């Protein structure tokens, strides 16, 4: 082989890409614009069997038009695609497997399609690569799961291919960079093609084709919780969290998971939180989507900074009007970015707090249930001890100092630990016990032939469990026996909880490893909706000075 | 306060930025161009006392001209700056503290200035925030350490502010995004202002001013190792690594740390690695700067993908000619990106292998030594068990299956573990013992008043130690006692090693927890330079077909 031949053989991807783009060339109308009606033809021109394909779509914005068009390609020409994508929440995502166009799936979050994912794995329609956390999957885009073609989503484009992703930038930069700089092809559906963009989020060089979709992309208001639905029980848990954890550790930076407990916490910051003297000390720095239930605390001056994974429908004007708090561009609209928000969520925050469906007797938890391959989104990335972290904060150091087991792991060295908190009522949805002997994830692993059960948060990462029975300070347990006893002590009337021994629980309370509502000095009679700074969606709108514009389904006025 | 007043009070940063930019307005000559001679005036216009300031500079490219200009500002006007930056390798970075312009420092890597950093902390010239790993610091840019003004570095700019960072994109996207989207100001020094860029790496909207510096930015060839300097002892360690770890676990994806051991490994892949049958199985996917010593293995077809943190001087043409392997843009040059490379380095690779200066009896290691606050760069991020990882690979599962202590942590659940390997000769530079009773990091912490000693890799993250005495498979140890015994067994004639008990070592060898060179079936007589695929810089140039162009100081022909 001559040197020249040898050199040419290092350009296979580039040459292949050039051939595909040449096949697509007749479809361009002006600059990088392709008409919506030619989308299927474009996909047939640039996609080949066995390609690694990314369809953008997280739990919020969705490249839904491109997903639908991909279902319409000639399956004689295009088949056995390997889909790598953050989420598969749309029917169209699973239809690709039903239709024989796609075969393999690597993803992070299943959402409403979780049942279909499980079924397709069982009947061989999906060959499952793995379930990831978002940032982990982004990492693999730059190593061994680089998309050959990516189908992304933006608000606007110009004909040079520049994209405006604005409020919902989300995953786009990570997907596009990985694809385009490994000789791949990037196609964007946009709501509008314009001459002048408000700002450039993705440079035109990085995009191969832009298509104005027939209707705006689908977007889900996933982080909107109606204060009217917050229960007294959730308010009690919220009070326990604030007094027993936020105040106890002085947690200034954090992420709040999805769910009503953290909404309740947000809504009592300006009332109970203020009373506890937490203003200016807790919740000053957050990695968080623009939660409407944060509006009262923001308005009362609690928050210094919020960086967002994505946007939230209806919060556009409010966020744009609070540029001292949110990351807002020179054009006046939010720039979200899931990769950087997850990076900060892994390394910069002191606490992750959220809920779960099941916790086993060792403290491992999962939202996977039999028959549903749901995935965990960003939770494992934030709900774990970031072992590469090296900067100390008071909350992190205190959580680490309380670990009696540290010497077993690293000898005489001190080290901090991330606070990872799960707040649950002992019986969850449908009165199912949250505390279980064995996670349903085991059954799921057997059924779907996974090498290990899909766990959301491992027991050695979990530091605190909060239930209506009390707080278990797992980080204060000297060994697995003590941890299991602390879990039993707060597990209520579940089978796990019924196995608790009164004298053991008493000893744990005396040692400060378990604290009940009364140990915490909380009057449960105060746990009612009077404590909420906003009691309804309308109240949130009022707090926002009319800037928050809830989606229609959340309006009852 | 009226609603309008209230709303205005949420724009303090934006208003302050507008005032600063107005003060700078007379300095612009055309578009966003400011002349080099006006740089000090520009900095005085846009920087205020106590600002958080970022000067771009990692261990490679440096915004050196801007750093020098910042030293020339009127310290009556500008003082007490809080510097947040990846690295402080240039004298100018420390001069800022000497000159009373800067006061506080948050960073990740000290390099050649490590001694001065320690001295300045001791005498109160530097108030140390914290030492970070790169990705951790990037995360904090989006939360609580957002730069008010960033001084960055690019090859080229146009007058709209678009930047071409090309081969050495490195940290620029992370710094610029955090700064600009929190109402901050971004100033770029560039080697050249042009009308047309090869490609856009940073959109012009995100940049406030561009300055053509009087000379090109400084850049260090940090990852170039001359094969002529590789010793037989390093070749023996490299053989042990390949046979006892790479082959044993089937490690396909990894990062190689800086140093001669990993260069030796790279150089024997096409010889000893081939003999072991590792081609196509090991080193197929790497997160790595463009190491010149990887050229032979790449040319022999070992590598599928390499994604780079940054560039490496002299490797530009070679990398550009291997776009099937490296991430190369449509313009034909590499796009590096430290944030994404570290993300993949944390979550997507199965192994981190590198060296260190000291390992204590528990297995904790540090490159910090008394009198030098060095920092660890990216090592802690890759040299730790990524607890948020959820995708399984064979190597990760095997490493986890071997852990007898897993049940203690998470009950009956299985879980994998990242391979973290340190390869050292038992006596290092200046014949100092690498194995020590107590890390110098303890003394450093006392002297510099750090809350905890700065540890590079903690013992519970470290899975393997390789020395000339053998490999200690720490992941196979059931408890701290066993781990300490395994460390003693490979610690040679250091005090730690001399405490090893022969019968204990024999039992560890029988259990496969320690393997000597003979246990591994390696003939030490073969450990010599004949095994290197390239024996000199010249050989590397030849392997590259003349595409690699070593910096002058590495040429002796």
Chain B closest CA to A309's CA: distance in Å? Answer: 11
Of all residues in chain B, the one with the smallest CA distance to A140 is: B348
β-pairing, A285-287 vs A351-354, is unpaired
Q: Does A1 lie at the interface with B, CB-CB under 8 angstroms?
A: no
Q: Does A138 lie at the interface with B, CB-CB under 8 angstroms?
A: yes
* A474 interaction partners in chain B (CB closer than 8 Å): none
Whether B460 and A410 lie within 8 Å, measured CB to CB: yes
Average pLDDT, chain A: 95
pLDDT in tens, B18-35: 999 999 999 999 999 999
Chain B closest CA to A274's CA: distance in Å? Answer: 21
Taking the CA atoms of residue A9, residue A12, residue A16 and residue A22 in that order, the dihedral angle to the nearest 10 degrees is: -50
Residues 17-76 of A with CB under 8 A from B: none
As a whole number of angstroms, the distance between CA B388 and CA B346 comes to 10
Q: Tokens for A290, please give them.
A: 């623009």
Chain B closest CA to A208's CA: distance in Å? Answer: 11
Torsions phi, psi for A29 (to 5 deg):
-100, -40
pLDDT at site A6: 52
Percent of chain A clearing pLDDT 70 (strictly above): 99
Q: Is B367 helix (H, G, I), strand (E, B) or coil?
A: coil
Q: Tokens for A487, please give them.
A: 């879990």
Read off the pTM: 0.97
* B338 interaction partners in chain A (CB closer than 8 Å): none
Span of A112-126, A176-190, A230-244, A260-274 with lowest mean pLDDT: A112-126
pLDDT at site A8: 58
Q: Answer for the pair A395, A254: CB distance below 8 angstroms, yes or no.
A: no
Chain B closest CA to A179's CA: distance in Å? Answer: 9
Span of A111-125, A286-300, A477-491 with lowest mean pLDDT: A111-125
Interface with A, mutate which of B390, B399, B488, B543 (most A CBs under 10 A)? B390
Whether A327 and B392 lie within 8 Å, measured CB to CB: no
Which ranges of chain B have pLDDT less than 50? 1-3
Of B181, B307, B454, the CB nearest to A329: B181
Chain B closest CA to A534's CA: distance in Å? Answer: 18
Of all residues in chain A, the one with the smallest CA distance to B364 is: A410
Q: Does B338 lie at the interface with A, CB-CB under 8 angstroms?
A: no
Chain B closest CA to A530's CA: distance in Å? Answer: 25
Torsions phi, psi for B243 (to 5 deg):
-80, -45
Consecutive H or E run containing A287:
strand A285-287
Q: Any idea which residue has 């067994």 for tokens?
A: B489
Q: Does A204 lie at the interface with B, CB-CB under 8 angstroms?
A: yes
Interface with A, mutate which of B144, B388, B395, B462 (most A CBs under 10 A)? B388
The answer to ipTM > 0.90 is: yes
Q: Which residues pair with B435 in a beta bridge?
A: B359
Whether B340 and A3 lie within 8 Å, measured CB to CB: no
Helices (H), B257-358: 260-268, 274-275, 295-299, 316-320, 338-347
Q: Does B479 lie at the interface with A, CB-CB under 8 angstroms?
A: yes
Other CB atoms within 10 A of residue B61 CB: 28
Strand order in the sheet with B358-360: B365-366, B358-360, B435-436
Tell me the domain boundaries of chain B: 14-218, 227-537
Whether A391 and B106 lie within 8 Å, measured CB to CB: yes
Rg over alpha carbons for chain A, rounded to the nearest Å, is: 25
As a whole number of angstroms, the distance between CA A143 and CA B346 comes to 12
> Which residues have CB under 8 Å from A99's CB, separation 6+?
A71, A75
β-pairing, B470-473 vs B464-467, is antiparallel
Instruction: Please give the average per-residue pLDDT across A484-501, as a whole number.
Output: 98
Whether A452 and B253 lie within 8 Å, measured CB to CB: no
β-pairing, B33-34 vs B28-30, is antiparallel
Other CB atoms within 10 A of residue A21 CB: 15
Q: Answer for the pair B175, B54: CB distance below 8 angstroms, yes or no.
A: yes
Of A135, A182, A387, the CB nearest to B387: A387
Whether A452 and B129 lie within 8 Å, measured CB to CB: no
pLDDT in tens, A496-514: 999 999 999 999 999 999 9
Q: Any idea which residue has 């990894």 for tokens?
A: B254
Instruction: Please give the average per-residue pLDDT across A51-58, as a whole number.
Output: 96
pLDDT in tens, B109-159: 988 899 999 999 989 999 999 999 999 999 999 999 999 999 999 999 999
Whether B307 and A479 lie within 8 Å, measured CB to CB: no
Torsions phi, psi for A130 (to 5 deg):
-160, 165
Whether A348 and B451 lie within 8 Å, measured CB to CB: no
* A130 interaction partners in chain B (CB closer than 8 Å): 390-392
Consecutive H or E run containing B387:
none
* A3 interaction partners in chain B (CB closer than 8 Å): 545
> Which residues have CB under 8 Å from B22's CB, separation 6+?
none
What number of C-beta contacts closer than 8 Å exist between A and B? Answer: 327
Please state the CATH superfamily assignment of the domain spanning residues B227-537 in this structure.
Glutaconate Coenzyme A-transferase (3.40.1080.10)
- Closest residue by Cα to residue A189 from A34, A21, A23: A34
Whether the predicted pLDDT of A37 surpasses 80:
yes
Whether B287 and A143 lie within 8 Å, measured CB to CB: yes
* B410 interaction partners in chain A (CB closer than 8 Å): 362-364, 458-460
Other CB atoms within 10 A of residue A191 CB: 17
Q: Answer for the pair B275, B373: CB distance below 8 angstroms, yes or no.
A: no
Q: Does A376 lie at the interface with B, CB-CB under 8 angstroms?
A: yes
Q: Is B270 helix (H, G, I), strand (E, B) or coil?
A: helix
pLDDT in tens, A354-365: 999 999 999 999
Same fold? B14-218, B227-537: yes
Residues 270-299 of B with CB under 8 A from A: 285, 287
Whether A143 and B410 lie within 8 Å, measured CB to CB: no
pLDDT at site B1: 40
Of all residues in chain B, the one with the smallest CA distance to A301 is: B10
Chain B closest CA to A412's CA: distance in Å? Answer: 8
CATH architecture of A14-218: 3-Layer(aba) Sandwich (3.40)
Of A12, A322, A384, the CB nearest to B324: A12
């Amino acid at each position: 082989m001559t040197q020249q031949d040898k050199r040419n053989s290092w350009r296979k991807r580039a040459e292949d890409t050039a051939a595909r783009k040449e096949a697509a060339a007749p479809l361009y109308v002006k600059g990088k614009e392709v008409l919506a009606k030619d989308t299927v033809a474009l996909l047939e021109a640039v996609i080949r069997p066995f390609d690694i394909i990314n369809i953008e779509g997280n739990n919020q914005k969705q490249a839904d038009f491109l997903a639908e068009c991909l279902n319409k390609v000639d399956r004689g020409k295009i088949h056995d695609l390997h889909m790598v994508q953050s989420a598969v929440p749309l029917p169209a995502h699973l239809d690709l497997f039903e239709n024989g166009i796609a075969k393999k799936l690597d993803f992070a979050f299943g959402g409403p399609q979780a049942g279909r994912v499980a079924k397709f794995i069982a009947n061989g329609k999906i060959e499952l690569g793995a379930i990831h956390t978002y940032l982990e999957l982004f990492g693999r885009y730059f190593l061994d799961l680089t998309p050959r073609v990516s189908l992304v989503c933006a608000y606007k484009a110009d004909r040079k291919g520049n994209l405006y992703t604005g409020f919902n930038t989300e995953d786009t930069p990570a997907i596009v960079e990985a694809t385009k700089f490994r000789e791949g092809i990037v196609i964007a559906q946009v709501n509008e093609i314009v001459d002048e963009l408000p700002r450039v989020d993705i440079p035109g060089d990085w995009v191969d084709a832009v298509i104005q979709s027939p209707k705006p992309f689908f977007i889900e208001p996933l982080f909107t919780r109606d204060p009217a639905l917050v229960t007294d029980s959730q308010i009690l848990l919220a009070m326990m969290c604030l007094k027993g954890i936020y105040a106890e550790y002085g947690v200034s930076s954090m992420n709040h998971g999805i769910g009503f407990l953290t909404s309740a916490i947000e809504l009592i910051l300006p009332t109970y939180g203020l009373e506890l003297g937490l203003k200016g000390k807790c919740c000053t720095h957050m990695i968080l989507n623009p939660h409407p239930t944060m509006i009262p605390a923001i308005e009362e001056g609690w928050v210094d900074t919020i960086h967002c994974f994505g946007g939230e429908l209806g919060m556009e004007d409010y966020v744009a009007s609070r540029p001292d708090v949110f990351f807002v561009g020179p054009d006046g609209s939010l720039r979200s970015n899931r990769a950087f928000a997850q990076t900060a969520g892994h390394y910069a925050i002191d606490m992750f707090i959220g809920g779960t469906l099941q916790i086993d007797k060792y403290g491992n938890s999962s939202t996977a249930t039999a028959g549903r391959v749901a995935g965990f989104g960003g939770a494992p990335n934030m709900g774990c001890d970031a072992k590469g972290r090296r900067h100390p904060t008071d909350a992190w150091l205190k959580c680490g100092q309380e670990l009696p087991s540290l010497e077993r792991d690293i000898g005489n060295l001190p080290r901090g630990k991330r606070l990872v908190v799960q707040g649950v009522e002992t019986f969850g949805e449908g009165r199912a016990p949250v505390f279980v002997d064995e996670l349903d994830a085991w059954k799921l692993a057997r059924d779907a032939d996974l090498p290990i059960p899909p766990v959301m948060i491992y027991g050695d990462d979990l530091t605190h469990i909060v239930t209506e029975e009390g707080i278990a300070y797992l980080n204060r347990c000297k060994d697995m026996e003590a941890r299991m006893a602390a879990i039993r002590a707060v597990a209520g009337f579940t089978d796990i909880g019924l196995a608790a021994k009164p004298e053991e629980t008493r000893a744990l309370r005396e040692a400060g490893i378990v604290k009940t509502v009364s140990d915490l000095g909380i009057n449960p009679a105060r746990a009612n909706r009077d404590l909420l700074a906003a009691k309804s969606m309308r109240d949130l709108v009022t707090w926002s000075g009319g800037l928050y514009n809830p989606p229609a389904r959340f309006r009852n006025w």
